[in-house]
Structure 1
Amino acid sequence: NLQKIRKNLKISPEFARVVEESENVPTLFLIPHFSLMEMVTLVPALLSPNILGKVGVIYRPFENKSLERWVKKTRERFGLSLLSRKQGFSEAQTILENKGKVVVLFDQNAGFEGKSILFFEKIASVTELPGILAQKYNAKTYLVYPKHKGFWKAEVACIPIEGPRESLHITLSSNQLLEDLLKSNDSQCADWLWLHNRWKTQMEPARYLQLFFRKPHRNGLQDSLNFRNQTELRRRTQFWIRMPNWLGDVIMAIPLLRAIRAARPDAEISLLIKQHLAPLFLRTDLCDNIFEIPPQGPGYFKFFWDLRKNYPQAQFLFTNSLRGDIEARLIGAPQRFGLKLSSFGRPLLNQVWEKPSSISVTKTHQTLLWEKWLKHFGLNEKPDFSTLYLNLNPEEIPEPTATNIGLICGTENFSDKRWPIKSWQLLINRLLLFYPHANILLFGTKKDASLTNELTKNIPSDKIINLAGTTDLVQFAARLLQCKAVIGNDTGGIHLANALGIPVCVLYGPTNPIRTGPIFDAPKCIIQPQNCPPTGGLSMELLHPDAVFEKFNTFFSELGHF
């Protein structure tokens, strides 16, 4: 009854004044989806008769005829007229022509037909209808909403949309007012229907790694930036990337990190990466955040469970293991992307590209295979193979006192990739004889220290500097930058040297340089045993030191390094 309505619903003085001033003036009321928005249909019962004049509410009719009849009856009982979207907007235009009022629910996701603008600094799709109507009929426009006052109690409030009555301005201003309202009032924020998900047009899996606009004129991002006095998109859409476990694979993923970053300038990139690899990425601009993966043991999986509180939007896995998939499921990103290479399924991921049988793993570089995977999900940007820049302090890069030739004699994992110690000794002797003014820098991990110690035992020379086990990853990179060239096994350090722009000679035997060769835009030389297939398969013992020296010497002489 009317008494109960007046008890539960009040009219704010601002809205009452707007109603008086808008008599016989074309007016648009834009209503967001708050929990008590249906109470707005009761407004005519609280005002003087006929003061509102003709009021039409644009709505989407229900398919269920019984429900539709009930909705129309309850919403129209106090004088409002429901205007079906399915019948076009001619009735709404007639009302505005006759200086009436039209109500529009304006805050739903408008799909690919909507205008792409920024809402909460993320790309959202919004309707342009209010702006089009306001501009065409020079209509006053207001944001009208129920201000929560208690249980089933509300006050009808309004905010005028100031400025020119132009379509773009109305579209941007109305959404900015709604954003400001949600930010400033916890109660209104809790009341809004977030399930509409205005951002989902940029979440289609097939286009996830691009900013997609079905029609160019629907792209309002630059207008939105100008309206907000911003020069570029802010990175608010959370993309998490699970990096590989080995240094070499991590380096080979870098060109694609750059491509993702360029393709989605709105994405905040967070890396999940092993602890010993994280310091290197802290010196780059490849990501915004780093989560260091702890060693396996008690509490390992709890670490990932706790990360779900960060609510990432998507996670991309460069790993191909059940453990990595479990990690992703625990983190709980709504979209989890992975690459399927074998019969091993990936049921814990929900966006998986299975490598076609037409693509040969042995004849496709790992980076280019990853590129094909990401292309399936919309990546159009090309991998960036340019030199990796590290933000090092001047004191972190020791001044070279002579020509340095780096040698990486160990391997991270597969011992068969390791050239024999005797072969390294013969090569070092040739290098010292041919380049008497050069220093030989030996690199490696702590595990490689025993190898390099054994290697230098029978070569008494102050020209050999054994750094194995004495540097962390950043110090290792800084030392590599001192080198004119690096010779090494197929291991992570040689990929890092290649990424840093240092000329490299890489020794391959059993492993496949087509799949895991250095790929950055820097001079490189692949050396395999005589008669070795391009895809590898022979023992490192068949690689003769004289052949390695001759190829190394020829390659770098042609580059003018010596």
Structure 2
Amino acid sequence: MGDIIHSLPVLNALFQNFKDAEIHWLIAKGLDGLLQNHPMIKKLLIINKDQWKKINSIGKTIKELSILSKSLRYESYDIVIDLQGLLRSGILTAMTGAPFKIGFSDAREGSSIFYNQRVKGDKDIHAVNRYLRIIKALTGIETKEIKFPFPPFNPSNEIIKLVDSLKDYYVIVPGARWQSKRWSPDKFAEAACLLENRSIIIGGKDDIPISQFIKEKARDKVIDLTDKTNLKDLVFIISQASLVLTNDTGPMHIASALERPLLAIFGPTNPIRTGPFGTKHKVIKAEIACSPCYKRTCSKMDCMNNISVNKVISEIKSLSL
């Protein structure tokens, strides 16, 4: 999810600089809701990449890749941009047969071998600025005004009614794909009880146990919508929030792009590279020697455990809400 949000300024710059261009976007199934009906995108190409990882689905994967390859070549693309820079995305780039294939020279997993135009990315800058180096390579122009263009939200009536009834609320995002990125659910619950307004908890199916724990502890101070929203609902909920309290996860990037007041809790990752972008946020991080380690799991979790509830509440109060 974060990669998609970080790519939106590139979409905006392409749309502004190449008025007559037809833009297509290749996106993973399950995340397409973020870009459905986007006025800048002519076509969304949806791939089931999670299925590709399953050995017992290899037959379906080969068939899908064969169909996808033919579809990509049929489009006769002039330019293909690979922002993700993984082996999978590099192979898909090559499958298009486009005459101009551009990506980063320092892309991961050897994917740069699939490009005929390579741009130095620099991994010690924010991903948004890194991605925009592609635009500079294409146009020779530095992107001065960075915008994150979202499609129309179109949330459900139930979500609209809930948001209208609350008027002033916070959003809590207690989950994360990596175990090492998760602040303690007990601390999230304590923080929710200390916050001035009620909070909406959001997340996916895997986050349900965490959210249920917080709900049991914080009771009426939270509304648990974990795994009860689609992506358009989720974006709308975040867009109307007075504050977002979050781990380093996808919804954090949505909140940042929508310029919502935001406090992000960081541990094993580097906020300089993939933290919230912009100015309406604060990052709280324990300064310990082993962070950032980029480990998905950790038996000690000192970088997260050393962040207290009192510190989080103090930082929230210092935000301009």
Q: Shared topology, TM-score over 0.5?
A: yes
2:198 counterpart (421, 424, 439): 439
With over 3 angstroms needed to count, the CA separation of the structure-2 counterparts of 1:393 and 1:250, relative to structure 1, is closer
Output the CA distance in 1 between the equivalents of 2:148 and 2:160: 17
| Helix, strand or coil at the partner of 1:347 | helix
Output the CA distance in 1 between the equivalents of 2:134 and 2:74: 28
1:368 aligned onto 2:122? no
- Which residue of structure 2 lines up, in the alignment, with residue 450 of structure 1? 209
- Which residue of structure 1 lines up, in the alignment, with residue 100 of structure 2? 335
With over 3 angstroms needed to count, the CA separation of the structure-2 counterparts of 1:321 and 1:393, relative to structure 1, is closer
Q: Which runs of 5 or more residues in structure 1 are unaligned?
A: 1-246
2:247 counterpart (474, 485, 489): 489
With over 3 angstroms needed to count, the CA separation of the structure-2 counterparts of 1:354 and 1:294, relative to structure 1, is same
- Which residue of structure 2 lines up, in the alignment, with residue 353 of structure 1? 119
Q: How does 1:146-185 map to 2 (within 5 A)?
A: none
Output the CA distance in 1 between the equivalents of 2:148 and 2:119: 29
Deviations 1:107-141 (A, max 9, x none): xxxxxxxxxxxxxxxxxxxxxxxxxxxxxxxxxxx
Q: Is the 8 A contact 1:410 1:444 kept in 2?
A: yes
Q: Which runs of 5 or more residues in structure 2 are unaligned?
A: 294-301
With over 3 angstroms needed to count, the CA separation of the structure-2 counterparts of 1:255 and 1:492, relative to structure 1, is same
- Which residue of structure 2 lines up, in the alignment, with residue 430 of structure 1? 194
Q: Which structure carries more relative contact order (alpha carbon 8 Å, separation 6+)?
A: 2
Q: Quote the offset at 1:536 in angstroms.
A: 4.2
Deviations 1:321-346 (A, max 9, x none): 22212212222212111112168363
Amino acid at match of 2:96: I
Q: Quote the offset at 1:381 in angstroms.
A: 4.9
1:544 counterpart (283, 308, 314): 308
- Which residue of structure 1 lines up, in the alignment, with residue 11 of structure 2? 257
* Identity across matched positions, percent: 23
- Which residue of structure 1 lines up, in the alignment, with residue 46 of structure 2? 292
1:553 aligned onto 2:317? yes
Amino acid at match of 1:249: D
Output the CA distance in 2 between the equivalents of 1:486 and 1:309: 43
Q: Is the 8 A contact 1:255 1:383 kept in 2?
A: no
With over 3 angstroms needed to count, the CA separation of the structure-2 counterparts of 1:313 and 1:379, relative to structure 1, is same
- Which residue of structure 1 lines up, in the alignment, with residue 299 of structure 2? none
| Helix, strand or coil at the partner of 2:165 | coil
Q: Is the 8 A contact 2:90 2:111 kept in 1?
A: no
- Which residue of structure 2 lines up, in the alignment, with residue 277 of structure 1? 31
2:77 counterpart (299, 312, 334): 312
Q: How does 1:112-261 map to 2 (within 5 A)?
A: 247-261=1-15
Q: How does 1:502-521 map to 2 (within 5 A)?
A: 502-520=260-278
Q: Quote the offset at 1:508 in angstroms.
A: 0.9
Deviations 1:176-218 (A, max 9, x none): xxxxxxxxxxxxxxxxxxxxxxxxxxxxxxxxxxxxxxxxxxx
1:397 aligned onto 2:160? yes
Deviations 1:487-522 (A, max 9, x none): 1001111111221232111111121111112114x6
- Which residue of structure 2 lines up, in the alignment, with residue 410 of structure 1? 175
With over 3 angstroms needed to count, the CA separation of the structure-2 counterparts of 1:278 and 1:496, relative to structure 1, is same
Amino acid at match of 1:491: T
Q: Quote the offset at 1:430 in angstroms.
A: 1.5
Q: Quote the offset at 1:548 in angstroms.
A: 0.5
Deviations 1:416-472 (A, max 9, x none): 1111112212212222xxx2xx2210010011111111222233x223110111111
Task: Normalising by structure 2, report the TM-score.
Answer: 0.84
Q: Which has the higher strand share?
A: 1
| Helix, strand or coil at the partner of 1:261 | helix
Output the CA distance in 1 between the equivalents of 2:148 and 2:42: 20
- Which residue of structure 2 lines up, in the alignment, with residue 527 of structure 1? 284
Q: Quote the offset at 1:549 in angstroms.
A: 0.5
Output the CA distance in 2 between the equivalents of 1:275 and 1:264: 27
| Helix, strand or coil at the partner of 1:341 | coil
| Helix, strand or coil at the partner of 1:401 | helix
Output the CA distance in 2 between the equivalents of 1:552 and 1:532: 22
Output the CA distance in 1 between the equivalents of 2:142 and 2:224: 42
With over 3 angstroms needed to count, the CA separation of the structure-2 counterparts of 1:505 and 1:338, relative to structure 1, is same
Structure number with larger C-alpha Rg: 1
Output the CA distance in 1 between the equivalents of 2:139 and 2:149: 25
With over 3 angstroms needed to count, the CA separation of the structure-2 counterparts of 1:382 and 1:354, relative to structure 1, is closer
With over 3 angstroms needed to count, the CA separation of the structure-2 counterparts of 1:482 and 1:317, relative to structure 1, is same
Output the CA distance in 2 between the equivalents of 1:381 and 1:287: 22
Q: Is the 8 A contact 2:181 2:267 kept in 1?
A: yes
Amino acid at match of 1:420: S
Q: Quote the offset at 1:300 in angstroms.
A: 3.2
Amino acid at match of 2:78: Q
Aligned residues: 296
Q: Is the 8 A contact 1:263 1:379 kept in 2?
A: no
1:465 aligned onto 2:223? yes
Q: Is the 8 A contact 1:269 1:288 kept in 2?
A: yes
Amino acid at match of 1:422: D
Output the CA distance in 2 between the equivalents of 1:451 and 1:481: 23
Output the CA distance in 1 between the equivalents of 2:154 and 2:308: 40
- Which residue of structure 2 lines up, in the alignment, with residue 267 of structure 1? 21
Task: Normalising by structure 1, report the TM-score.
Answer: 0.50
Amino acid at match of 2:237: R
| Helix, strand or coil at the partner of 1:465 | strand
Q: Is the 8 A contact 2:189 2:214 kept in 1?
A: yes
Amino acid at match of 2:9: P
With over 3 angstroms needed to count, the CA separation of the structure-2 counterparts of 1:451 and 1:303, relative to structure 1, is farther
Deviations 1:55-74 (A, max 9, x none): xxxxxxxxxxxxxxxxxxxx
